[in-house]
Chains A and B, each alone.
Chain A
Amino acid sequence: DSGVTQTPKHLITATGQRVTLRCSPRSGDLSVYWYQQSLDQGLQFLIQYYNGEERAKGNILERFSAQQFPDLHSELNLSSLELGDSALYFCASSPHTTDTQYFGPGTRLTVL
């Protein structure tokens, strides 16, 4: 157990809908990262937050957004969902910005 928690574990929804994925980092970690894992794209970095501020942005679609709250938990919002958004979404956390990242168990999103 890495100490990073993600909810829900599974999510099934329809095209056009909006969902929110939640991540609680390890105690004391200030950085939160979001990744998308799909069969065709592999593991893709989406976005990083550090102590509430956006730190780095990767291949994140405009339909996706994230935030990190004062208690350091983070949410990833996915809207206008498409079939191709079906994937595993991982959250990771680290103490600061250059440290080892510890991954949560992931949320499996299925868009029908």
Chain B
Amino acid sequence: AQSVTQLDSQVPVFEEAPVELRCNYSSSVSVYLFWYVQYPNQGLQLLLKYLSGSTLVKGINGFEAEFNKSQTSFHLRKPSVHISDTAEYFCAVSDRSGNTPLVFGKGTRLSVIA
């Protein structure tokens, strides 16, 4: 079974500053990794995903994440945040067989301060 740990429940950051949201996973098999964003009162929107290939994945809204197999991490980064990036961010993992469902972390609330 897979599990996901998002190391920070809340991350406050000033506008135009860089941000990193940390995610570590545990799995005995090869996985797919995802980051979703949830804006207030909305559903989850896919930011980016790692399926295979390059370990640096670029997503929407200027976000990127790096898959590190040795450290079992998939940290999300953005070089310069905007007020509109204020939201809840979820890291998720699934195995490649499709036999187990998507497992989510508990989320990180990113608050961008003007």
Residues in B whose Cβ lies below 8 Å from that of A4: 43
- Residues of chain A whose beta carbon lies under 8 Å from any beta carbon of chain B: 2, 4, 33, 42-43, 45, 48, 56, 58, 90, 92, 96-98, 100-106
Min CB–CB distance B7 → chain A (angstroms) = 15
A-B contact pairs, 29 of them (CB 8 A): A2-B43, A2-B45, A33-B101, A33-B102, A42-B104, A42-B105, A42-B106, A42-B107, A43-B90, A43-B107, A45-B101, A45-B104, A90-B43, A90-B44, A92-B44, A96-B98, A98-B32, A98-B94, A98-B98, A100-B34, A100-B46, A100-B49, A102-B46, A103-B36, A103-B43, A103-B44, A103-B45, A104-B43, A105-B42
Q: Which of B63-95 contact A (CB under 8 A)?
A: 90, 94
Residues in B whose Cβ lies below 8 Å from that of A103: 36, 43-45
Name the contact of A106 in the complex, choosing from B36, B43, B98 (C-beta under 8 A). B43
Known: A98-B97, A102-B46. 4 other contacts (CB 8 A): A42-B105, A43-B107, A96-B98, A98-B96
Whole-angstrom CA separation of A56 from B106 in the bound complex: 21
> Interface centre among B42, B43, B98, B99, by most A CB within 10 Å?
B43
**Are A45 and B102 in contact, with the CB atoms below 8 A?**
yes
Interface residue count on the B side (C-beta < 8 Å): 23
Q: Which of B7-42 contact A (CB under 8 A)?
A: 32, 34, 36, 42
- Contact code string B39-58 (vs A, CB < 8 Å = 1, else 0): 00011111001000000000
Give 9 nearest A-B pairs by CB, closest first: A97-B98, A98-B98, A103-B44, A43-B104, A45-B101, A105-B43, A103-B43, A42-B106, A106-B43
Whole-angstrom CA separation of A2 from B43 in the bound complex: 9
